[in-house]
Amino acid sequence: MAFKHINASTLTTVSILHQVDQNARPQTPITVYNGHSAAIFIGDASIATSGATIGRTIPTATSQTFYASAGETIYAISAAASAAGAIVLTYSA
């Protein structure tokens, strides 16, 4: 296994942040750091920035770790588009 990082961006519409490799081990811990100037929201393809489908909120300058399985897709959205590479994902693969 190797430690990996991905620099990503968020948009004001739901977009794919990362797709977990098909060969990843089950329940791979993934840490998402928000270097954007606004909160980002992580979830499935139906996430929004408010209301009944609000995703997991990751405030500015914080990180959260969650677990994903092989082949899962992580989606993100924010109220304002982030700078290129402002979102950092780290995990072992």
Residues 50-90 have pLDDT tens digits of 888 888 999 999 999 999 888 899 999 998 888 788 899 98
The pLDDT, as a whole number, for residue 28 is 86
The pLDDT, as a whole number, for residue 5 is 87
* Six token digits for residue 25: 């081990």
pLDDT at 1 over 80: no
3-class secondary structure, 53: helix
Looking up residue 83, the CATH number of its domain turns out to be 2.60.120
CA 20 to chain centre: 11
The neighbouring-strand residues paired with 91 are 4
Per the structure, the count of domains in the chain is: 1
d(CA 92, CA 45): 24
Residue type, 84: A
Residues 4-21 have pLDDT tens digits of 888 998 889 999 999 988
Higher-pLDDT residue of 39, 82:
39
For the residues 26-42, what does the mean pLDDT come to?
A: 91
Q: Please provide the DSSP assignment of 12-34 as one string.
A: SS-EEEEE--TTPPTTEEEEEEE
Q: Print the domain residue range for 71.
A: 3-92
The pLDDT, as a whole number, for residue 62 is 96
In terms of Cβ atoms closer than 10 Å to its own Cβ (0-12, 13-18, 19+), residue 65 is exposed
Query: Mean pLDDT in the chain?
Result: 88
pTM: 0.86
